Chain A
Amino acid sequence: MELTYWWILPLAVAAAAIGVLLHLRRRRPHHARLIAHGDRLTDLPEYQRALRNHRTRLALAVVMGAVFLAATATAAARPIHRTVEQPEVRNRDIVLCLDVSGSMTSTDAAIATVFQRLAKEFDGERIGMVIFDSSSVQLFPLTDDYDYAAEQLTQAKEALESGAGSFFDGTWNGEGSSLIGDGLASCVQSFPDTGTDTGTPDATGGAPQDTKRSRSVVLATDNFLSGEPVVTLDEAARMAAAKNVKVHALNPGDMDYGAQADQPGAQLRAATEHTGGSYFTLDSPESVPGIVQKVQETETNSYRAAPQSVIADSPAWPLSIALIAGTGMLVLGRRLEP
């Protein structure tokens, strides 16, 4: 508890002292009725009793007045409450990287649903979305406009559930289908450059801040590659690692035969673990929320911002004391002034 304008207090004391002095000085030529034989009244026991009560009330009024002045002066001096806080800053960048080949749509829809819900609770995070099949399409870049993201995710969810419409336009421009390496690479590319390797801060964000943001890709794919990708999954994973991007893979159809490393599921797992991410196999789309929860938990990379001192006015107690004293003075004043 401290006072913003502490100098008001001595000022108020001085003002009160001057007021009292002036009052005492002016009191001399007091306008009173001159009477004789005042003992006619003052000797009455009733008068003596009334005089005692009157004096008590006067003393009480003086005390109330002093309290009132002190309280209002304290309130005028702005008492503040200073606390030091370290606000938690949640600064994650998440890119949803969805394989929209025919076998994946239900999983994608589940992921979209989960993130549509999550987007409403986001505060500080950025979310982006990329869909790919044989070529990748960025639905929306990393953004903290959660309304927009939720809207896009809703559209995506509906399109993925119906499996038709122009939503998938542009995803078949390449050769083959499910070119996962290309897809993951374009997802990784949707993160801005860290600036650490180029040495120039980027114009939009301020590079030092971006380096602190955790980056993750939620990759939904079954890793059934058909065709010849420009970038292989391994290369894409190395790019991701270079850009500090963790890849969390959700595989709805892990149908590996044996534990060989060249099986699609095992490749995917290797790729994600290379980036520091995690790998999940899905039994049904219903388990998506739980997995996303796990991903979220591994990614609670919250930074503590610099300690801030928070100053809050706390005028409540002096003002309530002043209010009580003022009310008391009014009540007493009614009694004193007939």
Chain B
Amino acid sequence: MPSLLRRVKSKMFIFAHRRTLTLLDGEYGSVFKGRSLDFDELRAYVLGDEVRDIDWKATARHGSPLVKRYVAVRRHSVLLLVDTGRNMAAQALSGETKKDIAVHAAGVLGYLACRHGDDVGLLHGNAAVSRYVPPRGGEEHLERLLREVDSSVDLAGPPSSIAQQLDYVLRYLKGRLLIVAVADEFLPDTHTENLMRRLRARHEVLWLSVRDADLAPERGRHGQADSMDVGTGAGIPLPLAMDSAVRAAYTESMTERARKRKDIFRRLGIAEEQAAGSEDVLTAVFTLLEKHRSGALPARSAPKGGTRAG
């Protein structure tokens, strides 16, 4: 099996020709308020200090040995919270499997965290089970996480239920985490919304939604086949999806649904961004980080594609 992380990286570097990768790094770094890898102060040398820490120029100016002090680097922990239920085996809006997009999104954020020197952990699962991999550094670890996500999504597996994973985090994980949730375009019910609110209170939360397939595609676009709901197993015959009355009602109801979702995330104060396909992921991550940094969630901060980044 080819390395999943390499695939993520190669896509990122293709992206880097258009945007600068460092810009992404910067966006990531600014997520944490207390920046720490910084020079703090100079103080007099005391026995036991590392000799290589002596600032020779300052010593020469001052006359007595001075030692550079750094604020101790605090390693952050990033938790990838990924839905690996049956729903993720379905098609995304772009026609890819939602799982692939989720892996890609998790990979991008995990890689940024790795470059920043943070630890990356994983919590994934479905309605039946939640699995936790504690945060660790290193690309090998990240690769392992991505593979776990990739292999956990199965059509025959239990259905998705992100509330289970949210509950797990709130129940068992202590300490402030940067949580990157990757799920599909579900509509949170009251219970889930409460969990999300509590999560938001305890942790930094970034929410990346993988957009679901268009159920009533226009004539001539892809998706010209009967559909089957992976959740219920119910089929949707193509002629019905093509019916103009049904499609009009569907479009209207989707607009309403998108508005509801947006309202929920705004109410919760969680930065949310959507990715329709794997091409969208980097732009979405960039916009997401920016949204999060700006703290406020303006109604329409950035049109998709993030022209500001260019």
B25 CB to closest chain A CB, in angstroms? 33
CB-CB under 8 A from B215, the residues of chain A are 35, 38, 40-41
CB contact under 8 A between A38 and B184, given known A32-B225, A32-B227, A44-B246: no
In contact, B212 and A54 (Cβ under 8 angstroms): no
Complex contacts, A45 vs chain B, CB 8 Å: 249
Within 8 A of A (CB), among B237-270: 237-243, 245-246, 248-250, 253-254, 257
Provide the residues of chain B in CB contact with A36, threshold 8 Å. Answer: 86-88, 90, 98, 160, 184, 212-213, 229-231
Known A30-B226, A38-B231; further 20 A-B contacts with Cβ < 8 A? A32-B225, A33-B227, A34-B90, A34-B228, A35-B215, A35-B228, A36-B87, A36-B213, A37-B184, A37-B186, A37-B212, A38-B215, A39-B229, A39-B232, A46-B246, A47-B250, A51-B240, A335-B239, A337-B239, A338-B219
Residue B285 lies at the interface, judged by CB distance under 8 Å to chain A: no
Asked whether A50 is an interface residue with its Cβ less than 8 Å from the other chain, the reply is yes
User: Are the CB atoms of B230 and A54 closer together than 8 Å?
Assistant: no
Contact of A26 with B by CB under 8 A:
no
B257 and A50 form a contact (CB under 8 A): no
A302 close to chain B: CB less than 8 A: no
Which 6 pairs, one residue from A and one from B, show the smallest C-beta to C-beta distance?
Answer: A38-B229, A36-B90, A36-B87, A46-B249, A41-B215, A32-B228
Flag if A35 contacts B90 (CB, 8 Å). Answer: yes
Please, which residue of chain B has its CB at the minimum distance from the CB of A44? B249
> Can you list 5 residue pairs at the A/B interface with Cβ under 8 Å?
A33-B223, A37-B184, A40-B257, A44-B253, A338-B242
Question: CB-nearest residue of chain A relative to B241?
Answer: A41
Q: Within 8 Å of chain B (Cβ to Cβ): is A23?
A: no
> Are B236 and A38 in contact, CB atoms less than 8 angstroms apart?
yes
Number of interface residues of B (CB under 8 A): 44
Q: For window 310-338 of chain A, which residues contact chain B by CB distance below 8 Å?
A: 335-338
What is the minimal beta-carbon distance from B276 to any residue of chain A, in angstroms?
Answer: 14
Bound Cα distance A30, B246 (Å): 24
Chain A residues in the interface with B (C-beta under 8 A): 30-42, 44-47, 50-51, 54, 335-338
CB <8 Å contact, A40 and B230:
no
Tell me the nearest residue of chain A to B228, going by C-beta. Answer: A32
Q: State how many angstroms separate the Cβ of A288 from the closest Cβ of chain B.
A: 83
> CB-nearest residue of chain B relative to A37?
B212
Are A50 and B225 touching (Cβ within 8 A)?
Answer: no
Q: Is B155 an interface residue (CB 8 A)?
A: yes
CB distance from A5 to the nearest CB of B (A): 39
Complexed CA–CA distance, A47 and B86 (Å): 24
- Kindly state the separation between the CA atoms of A211 and B87 in the bound complex, as whole angstroms: 98
Q: Which B residue sits closest to A32, measured CB to CB?
A: B228
Most buried by B among A35, A336, A338: A35
Contact at B240–A47, with CB atoms within 8 Å? yes
Q: Does B175 contact A (CB under 8 A)?
A: no
- Give complex CA distance A338, B234 in Å: 21
* Chain B facing A: main interface SS: mixed
> Cβ of B185 and Cβ of A37 under 8 Å apart?
yes
CB distance from B214 to the nearest CB of A (A): 9
Residues of the B chain whose Cβ atoms lie less than 8 Å from the Cβ of A30: 226, 228
Compute how far the CA of A158 lies from the CA of B74 in the bound complex, rounded to whole angstroms.
140
CB contacts (< 8 Å) of A44 on chain B: these are 246, 249-250, 253
Question: A338 vs B239: C-alpha distance in the bound complex, in angstroms?
Answer: 6
Contact A34:B89 (CB < 8 A) given known A41-B215, A44-B253: yes
List of A residues within 8 angstroms of B245 by Cβ: 46, 50
For the complex formed, measure the closest distance between the CB of A272 and the CB atoms of chain B, giving whole angstroms: 90
B27 to chain A, nearest CB (A): 30
Q: Name the distance in Å between A257's Cβ and chain B's nearest Cβ.
A: 106
Given contacts A35-B228, A36-B230, contact A41 B236 (CB under 8 A): yes
Separation of A319 and B212 alpha carbons in the complex (Å): 50
Min CB distance, A56 to chain B, in Å?
13
Interchain CB contact under 8 A, A33 and B229:
no
Cβ of A93 to closest chain B Cβ, rounded Å: 77
The residues of A that contact B278 with a CB separation of less than 8 Å are none
| B152 interface contact, C-beta 8 A | no
Report the bound CA distance from A45 to B253 in whole Å.
11
Whether A38 contacts B240 by the Cβ 8 Å rule is no
Compute how far the CA of A45 lies from the CA of B160 in the bound complex, rounded to whole angstroms: 26
Task: Assess whether B284 is interfacial by the CB under 8 Å rule.
Answer: no
Interface residues of B in 154-170 (CB under 8 A from A): 155, 160
Residues on the A chain within 8 Å of B230, using CB: 34-36
* Docked CA distance A124–B202 (Å): 116
B91 an interface residue at 8 Å Cβ cutoff? yes
Indicate whether B235 reaches chain A with its CB closer than 8 angstroms.
yes
Contacts of B289 in A (CB 8 A): none
**Alpha-carbon distance A16/B281, docked complex (angstroms):** 52
B138: min CB distance to chain A, Å: 33
Q: Which residues of the other chain, A, contact B186 by a CB distance below 8 angstroms? A: 37
Assuming the contacts A32-B227, A41-B216, asked whether A50 and B89 have C-beta atoms less than 8 A apart, the reply is no
**CA–CA, A54 to B246, complex, Å?**
12
Closest Cβ of chain A to B292, distance in Å, is 26
Decide yes or no: A35 and B246 within 8 Å by CB, A42-B234, A338-B239 being known contacts.
no
Q: Given the known inter-chain contacts A41-B215, A41-B241, A41-B246, please indicate yes or no for A32 contacting B89, CB distance below 8 A.
A: no
A335 and chain B: residue at smallest CB distance: B239
Tell whether A35 pairs with B225 under 8 Å between CB atoms, given A47-B246, A54-B239.
no
